[in-house]
Amino acid sequence: MKTTATIAGLLFATASAAGAQTLTIYTYDSFVPDWGPGPAIEEAFEAQCDGCDVEFVAAGDGAALLSRLRLEGERTEADIVLGLDSNLVAAARETDLFAPHGVEAEFDLPVEWNDDVFLPFDWSYFAFVAGEETEAPANFRELAESDLSIAIQDPRSSTPGLGLVLWVQEAYGDEAAEIWEGLADNIVTVTPGWSEAYDLFTEGEVDAVLSYTTSPAYHLIGEDDPTKTSWAFDEGNYLQVEVAAVVESTDQPELARDFMEFVTTSGFQSVIPTTNWMYPSVTPEEGLPEGFETLTQPEGGLLLPPQEAADMRDEAIATWRDALSQ
Amino acid sequence: MSLSRPGGAVAGLMLLLTLGTLGAVAWRAEYASGLARADWAAIRFTVWQAVLSAVLSVGLAIPVARALARRAFRGRSLLVTLLGAPFILPVVVAVMGLLTVFGRRGVVSEGLGTLGLPPLDIYGPWGVVLAHVFFNLPLATRMLLQGWLAIPAERFRLAAALGAPVGRLLERPMLRSVVPGALLVIFLICLTSFAVALILGGGPRATTVELAIYQSLRFDFDLGRTALLALCQFALCAAAAALAFGVTVPDGMGGGLDRVVMRWDGSRWLDALWIGAATLFLMAPLLAIAWRGIGSWPDMPPTVWAAAGRSVAVALISAALAMAFALALALRPGPLATLAGVLPLAASPLVVGTGLFVLVYPFVPPGAAALPVTALVNAMLAVPFGVRVLAPAVAQAEAVHGRLADALGLSGWRRLRVVLLPRLRRPLGFAAGLAAAISMGDLGVIALFAGPGEATLPLEMYRLMGSYRTEAAAGAALLLVSLSLALFWVFDRGGRVAEV
């Protein structure tokens, strides 16, 4: 009975929603809950769009998002996809499912970003997060020589894991295999996703975990715990840039374009820091929340252009796998 | 109507959900690359750990189940229920519980530290096997325990009166009929292991086929290779099933009067030792989960409760479907039903979900199908356990009362109601409890279909974990474990009301 009611309810909901202006946004799981950025962004955009309805659909993580869109193809309900990682951009572009966003904006990114299809909405540096009492290594070499224990994510199933292997590959080139062999005895384990690795860290199983330089902000602001920090490496820290794009087959092209414009404004950007715990791609008028000034600032940001990241991916993963399989 | 007829339809449905979904994935493939060297390494590791986990789980379960079968003590029934808990735990929750006990900063390592010994290193192939034994020892114990309880009390009386060896005459024939099936089921469960192997495996050495499937589907969108890998899993399943059924010897000793068993053999102390050791091994991580979760109970956002309600509803529907399917298959003799009863174990949930998505998408919005599809897939995942538990009970009831029922002309629905169902009460209760608990804890396919606001409790827990809220996630995990256990207990208890 319950399911029949649910199905009926949802069918009617979809039918009535098609009449009003509904903007369907596919995003990753942690974007939509009450404590995520979704609800506040929905409210802010609905207040300015004159009777439209924003609907977030959570579809796993960044990689799952893209595969769901590819399964649905041109018949997809999605008007916008929000939450692809820059390393997935080349694969996303190849699908020809996305349309130019038409937004002009000055981004506050540590790297140059010019792309007429994929619009950055937030970013952070990848970094190892540790307790402040742990002595910070200055680079991967020092980390490999130390006795520190770390947890990382699998590059074959997680975007931070992929970011890490690209980071080592970009920073060390032909020496990447050597770095991974040195790190082998520091790596306690490799987890399928970010959550499991981070849980190992908070439980004290490892000294440090691959996460973001903005992660300590959650502990400081959300939990009043100033003891977490992250490590800046002197070879530079690799960036994660998260992007949004308009789906070409959208039945709401104007509304979608309005939303993309809205992404770069304060209404969207001011929500990001303390819900998604990332840096906004355009610093909002009121600046960053108090506490963000305490975060580690790496000297340089590394980021492979999307096509190069895609080309290097297989080689970087093979290097990682072979070095750690010995 | 013949009682074996619905089994054919159910077998068809199972084949559609397993091989059919695989076909749907393959049909959508635009290109296919073959299996790489790394894939073969993954297949080797997968088979190795699955064989070892199955042998160890069943090997250890024999003395534990025998001890539980022949000793009566206060709290035994509660203990039997609690011992089943690890099997129904969500994977990530169980792994975290295990690490609290066996991890580098765990209880055991701390203890070793005070003795001046180095900490335990659980990460590696042996950590994977340890976790799989933790998960599956309870299942193996329960399956064997059912076997022991099915030996009629009169036999033990007779053996005791004659001074005959119970082990050789009564227990060994029972084990020969139950053990191969138990080995097969656990081998297949471990075959599709994903998160356990990754988290505890310590690195890419511990890559399983399921991870390769995940990668080729999510990151490469190589549907052809995905289907090929899934086919490998089914081939392994078929080979293992053929082997297991080949060596099974049906136990055809006839029945008794269902009296409470009294035993006069075996060492009381040895039995206590086995029960004690198993309890410690299985309960310590559970206590750790409870300890972690109880303090963060107030941190849980209200959405967790709504998700819990949704999960319970899905679990009840899944359990009902799973029992109908399993009973239909158990009532149908023949290889088709047998195959349909094990195939779901070898199915990759990700492939089933993706295949169903391809099949459903043209007709229904995925968000609307999320909960019904989750209930159906969870029911499918529970069918093999139901069949394993119900089929021997059906066979025995037929062996004992079949001729009388024939003579009385009982057939079809009336035969089921009068002759079979009363004797299937206990296995049905157990299997339904298992099905409800499995559905409760399984992330299933909802992550693939989820629309706005459709989260189940496991999905909600993952979402909490994914946004730094580990405390609230620990609370949700405890709620999940408690609800799973409660559902299991209610059904299992319901099935046992008949006995004293």
Cα–Cα distance for residue pair A41/B25, rounded to 1 Å: 36
Contact A29 B96 (CB under 8 A): no
Find the mean pLDDT for residues B192-221: 83
The share of chain A scoring above pLDDT 70, in percent, equals 94
Query: Do A36 and A166 share a structural domain?
Result: no
Higher pLDDT residue, B296 or A235? Answer: A235
Instruction: Read off the pLDDT band of B444 (50, 70, 90).
Output: low
Please check the confidence at residue A183 and state whether its pLDDT lies above 70. Answer: yes
Number of compact structural domains in chain A = 2
* B320 pLDDT more than 90: yes
- pLDDT tens-digit series, residues B207-220: 888 888 888 888 78
How would residue A238 be classed by pLDDT, with cut points 50, 70 and 90? very high
Max avg pLDDT among A183-187, B41-45, B374-378:
A183-187
Pairing of strands A119-131, A279-280: antiparallel
Across the interface, which of B105, B214, B450 has its CB nearest the CB of A58? B450
Is B105 at the interface with chain A, CB within 8 A? yes
Q: Residue A101 in contact with residue A116, Cβ under 8 Å?
A: yes
B454-484 tens-digit pLDDT: 788 888 888 888 888 888 888 998 999 889 8
CA distance B326 to chain A (A): 22
Q: Which residue has the higher pLDDT, A69 or B256?
A: A69
For residue B251, pLDDT beyond 70 = no
Assign B500 a pLDDT band (cuts: 50, 70, 90): very low
Residue A177 has pLDDT above 70, yes or no: yes
CA distance B369 to B357: 9
Residues 114-173 of B with CB under 8 A from A: 123
**Looking at the predicted structure, is the pLDDT value of residue A130 above 90?**
yes
In the structure, what pLDDT confidence band is assigned to residue B1 with cuts at 50, 70 and 90?
Answer: low
Over 50: is that where the pLDDT of B266 sits?
Answer: yes
Residue A16 belongs to a domain with what CATH number? Answer: 3.40.190.10
In chain A, whose CA is at the least distance from the CA of B361? A72
A54: helix, strand or coil: strand
Distance CA A194, CA A205 (A): 15
Tell me the pLDDT tens digit for each residue of B135-157. Answer: 999 989 988 887 888 787 777 87
What is the β-pairing status of strands A228-230 and A119-131? antiparallel
Residue contact A66–B367, C-beta within 8 A: no
- Structure confidence at residue A309 (pLDDT): 93
Q: Can you give the pLDDT at residue B299?
A: 76
How many Cβ contacts (< 8 angstroms) between chains A and B? 168
3-state SS, chain B, equals: CCCCHHHHHHHHHHHHHHHHHHHHHHHHCCCCCCCCHHHHHHHHHHHHHHHHHHHHHHHHHHHHHHHHHHCCCCCHHHHHHHHCHHHHCCHHHHHHHHHHHHCCCCHHHHHHHHCCCCCCCCCCHHHHHHHHHHHHHHHHHHHHHHHHHCCCHHHHHHHHHHCCCHHHHHHHHHHHHHHHHHHHHHHHHHHCCCHHHHHHHCCHHHCCHHHHHHHHHHCCCCHHHHHHHHHHHHHHHHHHHHHHHHHCCCCCCCCCCCCCCCCCCCCHHHHHHHHHHHHHHHHHHHHHHHHHHHHCHHHCCCHHHHHHHHHHHHHHHHHHHHHHHHHHHHCCCCHHHHHHHHHHHHCCHHHHHHHHHHHHCCCCCHHHHHHHHHHHHHHHHHHHHHHHHHHHHHHHHHHHHHHHHHHCCCCHHHHHHHHHHHHHHHHHHHHHHHHHHHHHHCCCCHHHHCCCCCCCHHHHHHHHHCCCCHHHHHHHHHHHHHHHHHHHHHHHHHHHCCCC
pLDDT at position A269: 96
What CATH architecture is B1-28+296-500? Orthogonal Bundle (1.10)
Q: pLDDT band at residue A176, thresholds of 50, 70 and 90?
A: very high
Mean pLDDT of B366-372: 82
Asked if B354 is an interface residue toward chain A (Cβ–Cβ < 8 A), one would say: yes
Answer whether residue A12 shows pLDDT above 70. Answer: no
**pTM summary value:** 0.85
**Residues paired with A151 in a beta bridge:** A189, A209
- Any idea where the domains of chain B sit in the sequence? 1-28+296-500, 31-292
pLDDT the model gives residue A8: 45
Taking CB atoms and an 8 Å limit, are B301 and A34 in contact across chains? yes
**A209 and A231 part of one domain:** yes
Interchain CB distance below 8 Å, A196 and B195: yes
Q: Is the pLDDT of residue A66 over 60?
A: yes
Give A73's DSSP letter. G
Q: Looking at beta carbons, which residues of chain A come within 8 Å of B365?
A: 10-11, 14, 77
Residue A108 neighbours by CB under 8 Å, 6+ apart = A279, A280, A281, A282, A283
Q: In this model, does residue B256 exceed pLDDT 70?
A: no
Distances (CA, A) of B466 to A118, A289, B472: 24, 22, 11
Residues A113 and A195 in one domain: no
Res A320: pLDDT: 93
Answer whether residue A26 shows pLDDT above 80. Answer: yes
pLDDT at A170: 93
Give the C-alpha separation, B361 to B353, whole Å. 12
Q: Do A190 and B203 touch (CB under 8 A)?
A: yes
- pLDDT for B69 beyond 90: no
The mean pLDDT value for B192-213 works out to 83
Sign of the C-alpha dihedral computed for residues A127, A133, A134 and A135 taken in this order: positive
A90-117 pLDDT per residue, tens:
999 999 999 999 999 899 999 999 899 9
pLDDT reported for residue A34: 86
Q: Residue A163: its pLDDT value, please?
A: 95
Partner residue facing B368 (CB), from A11, A203, A324:
A11
Whether residues A177 and A314 fall in one domain: yes
pLDDT at A167 over 80: yes
Which residues in chain A are closer than 8 Å to B375, comparing Cβ atoms? 3
Q: How far is B339 from chain A (nearest CA, A)?
A: 30
Query: The domain containing residue A30 runs over which residues?
Result: 2-123+240-292
pLDDT tens, position by position, A146-165 = 999 999 999 988 899 999 99
Tell me: pLDDT of B331 over 60: yes
- How many Cα atoms occupy the beta-carbon half-sphere of B396 within 13 Å? 25
Give the one of A34, A56, A189 whose C-beta lies nearest to B203's C-beta.
A189
* 3-state class (DSSP) for residue A172: helix
Inter-chain residue contact B357 with A57, CB threshold 8 Å: no
Which CATH class for the B31-292 domain? mainly alpha
Query: In the predicted model, what is the mean pLDDT of chain B?
Result: 84
**Cβ pair B368:A7 closer than 8 A:** yes
Q: pLDDT at residue A18 above 60?
A: no
Under a CB-based contact definition with an 8 Å cutoff, are residues B211 and B194 in contact? yes
B71, pLDDT greater than 50? yes
State chain A's mean pLDDT as an integer.
Answer: 90
Q: How many whole angstroms separate alpha carbon B376 and alpha carbon B460?
A: 20
Helices (H), A124-188: 140-145, 159-172, 176-183
Q: Does the pLDDT value for residue B181 go beyond 90?
A: no
